[in-house]
Structure 1
Amino acid sequence: MHVVILAEFATASGGAEKVALESARGLAEAGVQVTYIQAIAGKADPFLNHAGITRIELALPDIWSLGPVRGAVAGLWHRTAARRLAAALVGLPAGITCLHLHQWTRTFSPAIMPVLFGHGAPVVATLHDYFLACPNGVYYRFDRGEPCGLRPMSGACLAAPCDPRSPLHKVVRVARTGLLGRALAGRPLHVVHVCDASLGRIGGMLGHLPLTHHRIDNPVRPIVGETADPARGDAIAYVGRLTREKGADLVAAAARKAGLKALFVGAGPLEDELRAMPGVEVMGWRTPEEVWAILRHRARALAAPSRWFETGPLTVYEALAAGLPVVASDRSGAAEKVRHGETGFVVPPDAEALVPAFTALRDDGRAAAMGRAARQRWAEAPLDLSAHARCLVALYGSIGAGHSAASHHTEPLPPRSAQPA
C-alpha cells in the first residue's frame, strides 16, 4: 500500500498539520509506504523522519506573503501550485492507493482538485473545519459572536458580514468556495469527519456534491512522562489561540468567580485583555513538551469552551490521555470524548455555566477521581497513532477495492450515497 498525504505545512503549526504529520508517521509504522507532499517551503517536523516516509516539498510561498492582491488571486486559483503538484505526482511510481488531502486554503487552492482527480487514484480529504461548504471555514458569525445558522452560499450567507477580517476577505472567500464547488462537481470525493457532530452538520450542507462520508477520530501522539496530578493543580488551564470564538475570555471570567487561577498557554488577539485581568497568567506559546510539563503540575483541568462548532481539538484528547479532567463546550466535537461528571464536564459556552464546573473541581478528591477516570477511559480505547493507522488502512483498502471495481464499468457511475464507514 502506497499513500500520498498532502498538506500545506510539514510542521505542527495547527491541528490539521498535526493530524497530517501523525497520520503519516502512524501509517509508516504500520508498514505503509507514505509520500508526504508539503506545499509551503519550510522545515519539516522530525516526526517525519522515518524510513517509510518520503517527503516532497513544492517550495511554494504562503499566499498571504505575496501581498493582498496577489495573495487573493492565488487563493482563488493558484496555477503554480497546481503545476508543481502535477509534476510531483507524475514522478511517483505507479500503483498509488489513494491521495489524502488535509489542507488547501493557504496555498494549494481549488486549482489542485482537477490535478488530484486527474491522477487516477481515489481522493480522500479530512474535514478539519467547514471550508468545504462555509466561506469563512468555521460556520460562525464573527459579527455577532455566535454560530451561524444560514445555509452556506445562500443569498443570506452571501449578504452576511460574518468574516473575521473584512468584507473584502468575505468576497474572496465566497469566490473561492464557489470555485471549489465547481472543481469538485461530479468528482467522487471521500471525506473523513473527525467527530460525529461534523458528520451530521456538514454532511447536510453538501448534498449537491457526490461525496462519500467516513468517520475516523483524530490521532493523539503519546505524551511522554508521568500522568497529570489534577489535585495538586492551582489553575484551570487553556491551551491554544487566545480568541473569543474559542472562549478564552470565558475561562478567565469563570475561573475568577470559582476562586481559581486561569492559566493560558498560547497567544492571540485577547492576550492584552487577559493579562489585565486578576488571577490570570498568560505564558505564550510553548513546545508540546513544555506544555505538558506545565499542565501536569499546574492544571486542575483543561477548559475548551468554544463558542463555534469546533470539530476535534487535539488538546482535549491529549489532556484526557494524560489524566487531566476536561471542561468542554457542548458545541465542540471533542465533547463527545468527555464523560460528563466522570472525566470532566460538558457545558454550554457561557461563563455562568462554567462556574459550577470549575467550582466542583476545587475539591481535591473529585479532581483526582476525574483524572483517574480520564486516564482509564483512554487506556480502554486509546486514540493513538496505531489505532488511527488501522482505521486509515481499512478505509484505504475499502476505497481502493471500490475504485478498482468502478474503473471496470463502461458506463459512468451515478454518485454514491453518503454512508459513514
Structure 2
Amino acid sequence: MHVVILAEFAAATGGAEKVALESARGLADAGLAVTYIQAIPGAADPLLDHPGIRRIDLGLPDIWSLGAARAAAAGIWHATAARRLAAALAGLALRPDCIHLHQWTRALSPAIFPVLSEAGVPLIVTLHDYALACPNGVYYRFDRAEPCGLAPLSAACIAAPCDPRSRVHKLVRVARAAALRKVVGQATRRDPLHVVHVCDASRQRLGDLLGGYALTHHRVDNPVRLPEGPAAEPARGDAIAYVGRLTREKGADLVADAARRAGLAALFIGAGPLEAELRSRDGVEVIGWRSPAAVWATLRARARALAAPSRWYETGPLTVYEALAAGIPVVASDRSGAAEKVRQGRTGFVVAPEIEPLVAAFTALRDDAVADGLGREARRLFHAAPMSLDAHTAALCALYAGLAGSASGAMQHREAILQPQ
C-alpha cells in the first residue's frame, strides 16, 4: 500500500506536524510505502530518514513571511500551491491508495482541495483544530477570552471581532473560510471526505459545525512517544509545570495565579506573548523551549503535576498524554479533548479553566500521598491501554485498507457499468 502524507512542515513545529511525522515513520516501519509531501522548505526530522519514506518539498513560502497583501491573497487562494501539488502527485511513480492531509493553513490554502479531490483516491483529513469550519481555526473569541458559540460564517460570526490579530485579519480569514466551504462542498458532493478526530469532544463539536458537508467520521488517537526513563515521583516535585506556548487562551496566566495562591511554584517550559508578564511574577520560573529529552528530565525532577487549563476547545495536547505515561498527575481543563484521558481524582483533576477550581486542585496536590497516588495510577492506566505509535499505526492501517478496498470496489463497479454490452 502507498500512502501520501501531506503537511506544511517536515519538522515538528507544532502538534499537527508532530503527528504527521510520527505517523509517517510508524507506517513505514509497518511496511507501507510513504510519500511525505511538505509545503514549506526546511530541514527534515530524522523520523523521515527511512528507506520506505520518500520526501517531496513543494518549495512554497510561509504566507506569514510575505507582505500583507500577498499573504492575504495566498491565504485565501494559493494557486501556485495547487499547481505544485498537482505536479507532485502526477509525478509519483506509484499511484497512492489514499492521501492523508494534516495541515493546510500556512501555505497550501483551500486551493489544494480540488487537486486532492481530482486525484481519485480517498482523502483523509485529521482535524487537529477547527479550521475546516471556523475562520480563525480554533472556535474561540479572542476578544472575549472565551469559546465561540456562533455558527461559522453566519452574519454574527462575520461581524465578531474575534481574531487575535485584527479585524483585517478576520476579514481575510472569513474570505478563506468561504472559499474553503465552496470547494469542500463541491468535492464532497462527489465523494465523502474522511475526517479523523483525535478526541471525542471535538468529534461532537465539529460534527455539528460541519453539517453541510458529506463526511465520514473516524476516531484515531494521536500517537504518544512514551517518555524514556523510570516513573516520575511527583511527591518530590516542587512546582506545578506547564509545557507549551505561553498564551492566555492556553491558560498560562491561570497556572501562575493559582499556583501562587496554593503555595506552590509555577514552572513554565515554552515561550510566547505572556513570557515577560510571567517572568515578572513571584514564584514563577520560565525556562524557555527545551529538547524533548530535556523537558522530561526537568519534569521528572521538578513537576508535582502538569497543568493544561486551556480556555479554548483544545483537541488533543500531546504533553498531557505524555505526562500521564510518565506518572505525572494532570490538571486539565474541562474544555480540552485531553480531559477524556484524565480520571477525576484518580490520575489528576478535570476542572473549569478558572482560578478557584485550579487553586483547589493544586492545593490537594500539596499532599505527598495524593501526588504520588495520582501519579502511580496515571502511569498504570496509561500503560494498560497505551496511546503508542504502534496502536496509532494499526488504527491507520485498518482505516486505509478499508478505504482503499471500498474505492477499488467502486472503481470496478463504475468500469463495469461503462463496458459495452
Q: TM-score range by the shorter chain?
A: over 0.9
> 1:417: which partner in 2?
none
Give the percent of matched residue pairs that are identical in Structure 1 and Structure 2: 70
Select the residue among 356, 367, 371 that pairs with 2:371: 367
The CA deviation string for residues 94-126 of structure 1, in whole angstroms up to 9 with x for no partner, is: 441100000000000011111111111110000
> 2:251: which partner in 1?
247
Per the TM alignment, residue 67 of structure 1 is displaced from its structure 2 partner at its CA by 1.2
> 2:61: which partner in 1?
61
Per the TM alignment, residue 408 of structure 1 is displaced from its structure 2 partner at its CA by 4.0
SS of residue in 1 equivalent to 2:253: helix
1:302 equivalent to 2:306? Answer yes
Q: Distance in 2 between matches of 1:38 and 1:384?
A: 24
Q: Distance in 1 between matches of 2:349 and 2:93?
A: 49
Select the residue among 225, 231, 237 that pairs with 2:229: 225
Per the TM alignment, residue 410 of structure 1 is displaced from its structure 2 partner at its CA by 4.6
Per the TM alignment, residue 226 of structure 1 is displaced from its structure 2 partner at its CA by 2.3
**Superposition map of 1:26-175 within 5 A:** 26-175=26-175
SS of residue in 1 equivalent to 2:391: helix
The CA deviation string for residues 10-33 of structure 1, in whole angstroms up to 9 with x for no partner, is: 111101010100111111111111
Per the TM alignment, residue 210 of structure 1 is displaced from its structure 2 partner at its CA by 1.0
Q: Distance in 1 between matches of 2:217 and 2:229?
A: 37
> 1:330: which partner in 2?
334
What letter corresponds to residue 67 of structure 1 in structure 2? Answer: G
Q: Distance in 2 between matches of 1:277 and 1:14?
A: 27
> 2:419: which partner in 1?
none
What letter corresponds to residue 333 of structure 2 in structure 1? Answer: S
> 1:390: which partner in 2?
394
Q: Distance in 1 between matches of 2:186 and 2:400?
A: 21
**Superposition map of 1:342-357 within 5 A:** 342-357=346-361
The CA deviation string for residues 214-252 of structure 1, in whole angstroms up to 9 with x for no partner, is: 111111112222222211100000000000010000000
What letter corresponds to residue 303 of structure 1 in structure 2? Answer: A
Q: CA RMSD in A?
A: 1.1
Per the TM alignment, residue 404 of structure 1 is displaced from its structure 2 partner at its CA by 2.1
Q: Distance in 1 between matches of 2:387 and 2:93?
A: 32
> 1:414: which partner in 2?
none
Per the TM alignment, residue 406 of structure 1 is displaced from its structure 2 partner at its CA by 2.7
Unaligned runs of 5+ in 2: 416-421
Q: Distance in 1 between matches of 2:392 and 2:341?
A: 15
The CA deviation string for residues 191-221 of structure 1, in whole angstroms up to 9 with x for no partner, is: 0000000110011111111111111111111
Query: 1:304–1:316: 8 Å Cα contact kept in structure 2?
Result: yes
Per the TM alignment, residue 84 of structure 1 is displaced from its structure 2 partner at its CA by 1.0
Unaligned runs of 5+ in 1: 412-421
Q: Distance in 1 between matches of 2:369 and 2:51?
A: 46
Q: Distance in 2 between matches of 1:206 and 1:125?
A: 13
Query: 2:242–2:307: 8 Å Cα contact kept in structure 1?
Result: yes
Select the residue among 280, 285, 291 that pairs with 1:281: 285
> 2:9: which partner in 1?
9
What letter corresponds to residue 393 of structure 2 in structure 1? Answer: A
TM, length-normalised to structure 1: 0.96
> 1:416: which partner in 2?
none
Q: Distance in 2 between matches of 1:265 and 1:284?
A: 5
Q: Distance in 2 between matches of 1:50 and 1:351?
A: 47
Query: 1:186–1:210: 8 Å Cα contact kept in structure 2?
Result: no
Q: Distance in 2 between matches of 1:327 and 1:180?
A: 36
Query: 2:3–2:100: 8 Å Cα contact kept in structure 1?
Result: yes
SS of residue in 1 equivalent to 2:282: coil
What letter corresponds to residue 296 of structure 2 in structure 1? Answer: W
Moved more, 364-373 or 194-203: 364-373
> 2:194: which partner in 1?
190
The CA deviation string for residues 392-411 of structure 1, in whole angstroms up to 9 with x for no partner, is: 01111111122223334559
> 1:263: which partner in 2?
267
Q: Distance in 1 between matches of 2:128 and 2:116?
A: 19
**Superposition map of 1:375-386 within 5 A:** 375-386=379-390
Query: 1:11–1:21: 8 Å Cα contact kept in structure 2?
Result: yes
The CA deviation string for residues 312-344 of structure 1, in whole angstroms up to 9 with x for no partner, is: 001001111111110000000000000010000
Please list every run of at least 4 consecutive aligned residues from structure 1 whose deviation after the TM superposition is greater than 3 angstroms. 408-411
SS of residue in 1 equivalent to 2:131: coil
Aligned residues: 411
Query: 2:130–2:138: 8 Å Cα contact kept in structure 1?
Result: yes
What letter corresponds to residue 161 of structure 2 in structure 1? Answer: P
Query: 1:39–1:107: 8 Å Cα contact kept in structure 2?
Result: yes
Q: Distance in 2 between matches of 1:251 and 1:99?
A: 40
Query: 2:2–2:94: 8 Å Cα contact kept in structure 1?
Result: no
Query: 2:99–2:122: 8 Å Cα contact kept in structure 1?
Result: yes
What letter corresponds to residue 50 of structure 1 in structure 2? Answer: H
SS of residue in 2 equivalent to 1:241: coil
Q: Distance in 2 between matches of 1:350 and 1:172?
A: 32
TM, length-normalised to structure 2: 0.96
Q: Distance in 2 between matches of 1:234 and 1:294?
A: 11
What letter corresponds to residue 374 of structure 2 in structure 1? Answer: M
Q: Distance in 1 between matches of 2:19 and 2:80?
A: 26
